[in-house]
Structure 1
Amino acid sequence: MTKLHAHYGTVRGRNGYEPVDGAVGPIPAAERRRFVAVDDRGVLTRSGERRTLVATGVGMTGPPPLGTVGQFSTAVALQETGLDVQLVIADLEPYHGGAPLDRVRSLAERYRAFALDLGFDPERGRLRTQSEATDVMRTAQLLAPYYDPDTWESDDGEGATDERPPTEWERAVREAYEAGEGDRGPGTAAVAHSGPTSEAADIHSAVLHGVDFLHPLYAGDYEQVVLQFGIDERHLTRMARRFRDAAPVEGGVAGLYTRMLPGFDGAPKMAKSIPGSGVSLAMDEATIRERIAGDPGGDPARSPVFQAMCLASRYGAERLDRLESACEAGAEDWERARAEYADFVVDLAERWRATGD
């Protein structure tokens, strides 16, 4: 069992989550490889009875890595099941952190264009930045008196304390971050934080983050919201629930969580701050191909390329079954599979470059 696979099991057990091993409401079993946990399977089963929105978003510190591609791909896949999807491009977060506004706006428009190019349909949901949603900002001002994170972060899940020891995978990630400080590696340039920031900006950003999820309930547009993120962002569901409970907001809040991507060269995850661990769409073709070709296969759970195929692609279930077998076998079958996926990622990088400078 890999550290990451064991981490999934521990997180599910600690929080009472269920594994995703089949269909979840309108999401077909064919999409099961994207997801590792759901904290209320029934919420999507009830999506035909209660107006339901899947809410997700992407951070925006630089060119998209494969994990962000996976978020875009998952949003499109969920739209294709008939679900309404809100995809927020979190542009105010880097601005509140000190990134220049003109640089943030330019990058946000590239993210929007890229999401549309990958197939997101704004007619079946909402694709927006934070800065353009003045209705959400108004709600954030009205709900700000109810925001009290100091009383929300004391436990993990339904009354369970958050003082449990980290999993082996979480320890490995922490160590990798500490070892990688100061060296982001090739193709991972982030938005420079060279402008002003403040404690007030941090608080504004946090309140708005929560209201990004709660506004559809507060406005009465939906009766339940399903937050869809990587499982390392599960705390956002807890935060949204507690914010809802404290504020004059009614409606259901649930979580649907995707897999994490293990990093290359034994890194516990793909991350900008872990040198050599991931693939960014800012990388040149040769670097992308070299990195993907470096995955020897073997255990699919340890393979960064196979795990990326499950999340950051539109491969169908039958194809992923064949690719899993190829990964286990290695040799020529896996070499061909890696080369095909490298073609796919190189094409993504070209499409990203086409959105602007």
Structure 2
Amino acid sequence: MTAAPVLFSDDYYQRVIKEYGYSPFDLQRFDFSLAGTGQEELNLRYLCHHAADRYAAAPVANRITTTGFGMSGPPHMATASHIMKMVKLQQGGENCQIVLGDLDAYNGRGRSYSFTSELAERFRIFSERLGFDGEKGILRNQRDHADALTNMYLLGQFTQESDFEGAEEDNHAYYVSRGIVDATMTFRRRLSLGLMASDFITLGQKYDAVLVLLGVDEHKYVRFTQDVARRFDENAPIRGNFTLAALYARLNSGFNGHPKFSKSIPGSSISVETAPDEIRKLVREDESRDPAASPVFQLISQMTYCSHEELVRLHEDCVEGNKKWESEKENFADYLVHIKELWPR
């Protein structure tokens, strides 16, 4: 029997706040600028933040923004939009890191070692073609980063059984029903989660503030890391007294009724492997007049396709379903084909 997906509506966001005890001070809207982007644009392109104001208060030299991607398959366009966000943050003066999760996919998704290794290299090239400066910032895999692997082992002494059980993604049952992930928190999945937390904590050994860019459905990973780091005592060989903040992206509604874009669910997204004609078909057939439910508008808002002012105008055009909106969808389809062609073959 297939489990029902969790749909990421406004009701979902409110439920997350209530269910996990977040206060208005835990998940906040933006009332400040970051990396040259004003608060109105931040609130339109991102859902909310956790402690990003404390991150922004730290000296630029002492803070870093990080994100990462599992190497379970070639990226979809929502993943490309995450890379674009990192490019914009980097160009705005932030120290930035992108982690290519080869070991995460090897354990968490059961992909072969050779597959994830090769895919990580293609992700690296794709990220640089999208504008990320791998010399100015950090663009790395997991298998060659010994400090994070060591720190993953060291933080193991401070974890509890409940930490792992409470870190399941909200759509876990849906993915299990489709045979995408293990049904239980197996040892290999614990390793995958532990290494992700270590990727965050390892940055905190050098920087006083770490800002993690994630989808809001991944908020449990940040809580997992914070809970473990809070238990570090004076005898711990790694420190936990740094700011771990989060920048939560809005989630792109999936095509064909799927809850969000997914590399593992056919038909849910536009990926770098989607044929140009299929890209144009999917974009044209999105007839939603609700920008919050339109896969096309949501993707436009996530990518650096247009300015903030143009995005506000497109919001109204989507609601009206006018000729300007139909024309813009054609232009956006061409843009997506261009992004697809940046993926190394």
With normalisation by structure 1, the TM-score equals 0.81
Q: Sort the Cα spacing of 1:350 and 1:262 in 2 relative to 1 into closer, same or farther, 3 A.
A: same
Match of 1:223 among 195, 208, 223: 208
Q: Which residue of 2 aligns with 1:159?
A: none
Preserved contact between residue 55 and residue 243 of structure 2 (Cα < 8 Å): no
Q: Sort the Cα spacing of 1:85 and 1:4 in 2 relative to 1 into closer, same or farther, 3 A.
A: same
Match of 2:32 among 23, 27, 30: 23
> For each residue in 1:129-166, what CA deviation from the matched residue of structure 2 results, as whole angstroms up to 9, or x when unmatched?
001212222222333322x241435779xxxxx9xxx9
Preserved contact between residue 260 and residue 269 of structure 1 (Cα < 8 Å): yes
Distance 2:302 2:276 in 1: 21
Match of 2:230 among 242, 245, 250: 245
Preserved contact between residue 52 and residue 246 of structure 2 (Cα < 8 Å): no
Match of 2:83 among 56, 72, 96: 72
Q: Which residue of 2 aligns with 1:37?
A: 48
Q: Sort the Cα spacing of 1:84 and 1:341 in 2 relative to 1 into closer, same or farther, 3 A.
A: same
Q: Which residue of 2 aligns with 1:212?
A: 199
Distance 1:119 1:235 in 2: 29
Q: Which residue of 2 aligns with 1:187?
A: none
Q: Which residue of 2 aligns with 1:112?
A: 124
SS in 1 for 2:248: strand
The reply to whether residue 134 of structure 1 matches residue 119 of structure 2 is no
Q: Which residue of 1 aligns with 2:287?
A: 296
Q: Sort the Cα spacing of 1:259 and 1:136 in 2 relative to 1 into closer, same or farther, 3 A.
A: same
The reply to whether residue 271 of structure 1 matches residue 271 of structure 2 is no
The reply to whether residue 95 of structure 1 matches residue 106 of structure 2 is yes
Distance 1:28 1:256 in 2: 13
Distance 2:218 2:83 in 1: 16
Q: How many residues align?
A: 324
The reply to whether residue 57 of structure 1 matches residue 68 of structure 2 is yes
Preserved contact between residue 71 and residue 101 of structure 2 (Cα < 8 Å): yes
Distance 2:219 2:49 in 1: 10
Q: Sort the Cα spacing of 1:68 and 1:340 in 2 relative to 1 into closer, same or farther, 3 A.
A: same
Distance 2:265 2:134 in 1: 34
Q: How many Å apart are 1:203 and its aligned residue?
A: 3.6
Q: How many Å apart are 1:210 and its aligned residue?
A: 1.1
Structure 2 residue runs without a partner (length 5+): 1-6
SS in 1 for 2:58: helix
> For each residue in 1:96-141, what CA deviation from the matched residue of structure 2 results, as whole angstroms up to 9, or x when unmatched?
2532222211111000000011011124321100012122222223
Distance 1:49 1:73 in 2: 20
Preserved contact between residue 8 and residue 253 of structure 2 (Cα < 8 Å): no
Q: How many Å apart are 1:199 and its aligned residue?
A: 5.2
Q: Sort the Cα spacing of 1:331 and 1:208 in 2 relative to 1 into closer, same or farther, 3 A.
A: same
Structure 1 residue runs without a partner (length 5+): 157-161, 185-189
SS in 2 for 1:234: helix
User: What amino acid sits opposite 1:215 in the alignment?
Assistant: T
SS in 1 for 2:286: coil
User: What amino acid sits opposite 1:304 in the alignment?
Assistant: P
> For each residue in 1:260-318, what CA deviation from the matched residue of structure 2 results, as whole angstroms up to 9, or x when unmatched?
01122343322345543211111111111111111114111111100000113342101
Q: Which residue of 1 aligns with 2:13?
A: 8
> Over aligned residues, Cα RMSD in angstroms?
2.9
Preserved contact between residue 60 and residue 95 of structure 2 (Cα < 8 Å): no
SS in 2 for 1:36: strand
Q: Sort the Cα spacing of 1:342 and 1:174 in 2 relative to 1 into closer, same or farther, 3 A.
A: same
With normalisation by structure 2, the TM-score equals 0.84
> For each residue in 1:1-54, what CA deviation from the matched residue of structure 2 results, as whole angstroms up to 9, or x when unmatched?
x96122223334541244435534445223432210112242133133771111
Match of 1:322 among 310, 313, 316: 313
Distance 1:43 1:50 in 2: 14
Preserved contact between residue 47 and residue 250 of structure 2 (Cα < 8 Å): yes
Regions of 4+ moved over 6 Å: none
SS in 1 for 2:111: coil
Preserved contact between residue 104 and residue 192 of structure 2 (Cα < 8 Å): yes
Distance 1:276 1:58 in 2: 20
Distance 1:95 1:265 in 2: 28
87-96 vs 22-31, greater mean Cα deviation: 22-31
User: What amino acid sits opposite 1:208 in the alignment?
Assistant: L
Distance 1:175 1:266 in 2: 17
